[in-house]
Chains A and B, each alone.
Chain A
Amino acid sequence: MNTNTLNVTAKQAEGWINEYAPFLLNRAYFLLSNKEDAEDVVQDVFLSVCQNNTTHSGKSSVKTWLTAILHHKIADFYKKKYQSKSVNFSTIFDVHGVWKDEGDISVWNNEEDLIDNEEFSTTLQGCISKLPTLWKVIICDVYFERRKAAEICTEKNLTDSNYWKILQRSRLQLKDCLQVNWFNS
């Protein structure tokens, strides 16, 4: 490879690796639930940055930019797997769109106090980590990266409707997970 084409200097790369690799590794693990996969994809992020497959536009911080590349790589890998099938609601709603199980009209108590409760946050995080990878990537985009729906849809090649369906389905699963792991225990 001709080194003249490389805008990212080795020194610059080293600085980024030092500063952001730990964060990226943890985020990748959260999304993939596997250390080796997380290590591979983070290596891949830095390699593609150094090979100038993507350049930093300066509009966002380096951390935001690297995180976007990471999410993109992970989503890209899982996209094929999910594209073939639509989000499935058959275990939750019947053919008429009515709830299958009757009766859960319970109210969660002390909600306001829970928001700043660390133990609760850990449970919530654990529940998110059990979702399928592509859904997790979207949730991280929305809640951790604070990205706009339109942007996420364009990048992931999702229709608005599919995007909301993924959130709808994720939320149903999260609700059940919190019910079992927090509110019932």
Chain B
Amino acid sequence: MFKDFVHIFVLSCNKATFLIEKELDNRLSFTERIQLKIHLSICKRCHAHHDKVVFMDKAMRKLVNMENKMNYFSEQELEEQKKKINEKIRGIKD
């Protein structure tokens, strides 16, 4: 009963998962913070989602260290591209 009341009148799961993103940005209003807290305390599904979002946020912050290892182009392709761009630039400079 109380659970349904909260979902219908306080916060839906869609809105709760939205507020979780807002929470990460530290942008929740006082009311929203209370609403989210109540929702998460009674909704297991959103509670589980919340924990996963917090984890993904942390993991994504670390990804930047990995980016140097993202090599979609071979050395040769990169050299060719550099040459191509340089030629184009020379084209507009002359």
Contacts and interface: CB of A to CB of B under 8 A. Distances in A.
Contacts of A18: 82
A90 B41 CA distance: 25
Interface in A1-21: 1, 3, 6, 10, 13-14, 17-18, 21
A50 B63 contact: no
A47 B81 contact: no
Contacts of A118: 66
A34 B12 CA distance: 39
A111 interface: yes
B48 A17 contact: no
Interface string A113-144: 01110101110110010000000000100011
Contacts of B22: 164
Contacts of A35: 72-73, 77
Q: Assign chain B's interface to a size class.
A: 35 or more
Interface of B: 7-8, 12-15, 17-18, 20-22, 24-25, 27, 44-45, 47-49, 51-53, 55-56, 58-64, 66-67, 70-73, 77-78, 81-82, 84-86, 88-90, 92-93
Interface of A: 1, 3, 6, 10, 13-14, 17-18, 21-22, 25-27, 29-30, 35, 38-39, 42-43, 46-47, 50-51, 89, 92-93, 96-99, 102-108, 111, 114-116, 118, 120-122, 124-125, 128, 139, 143-144, 146, 149, 160, 164-165, 167-168, 171-172, 174-175, 178
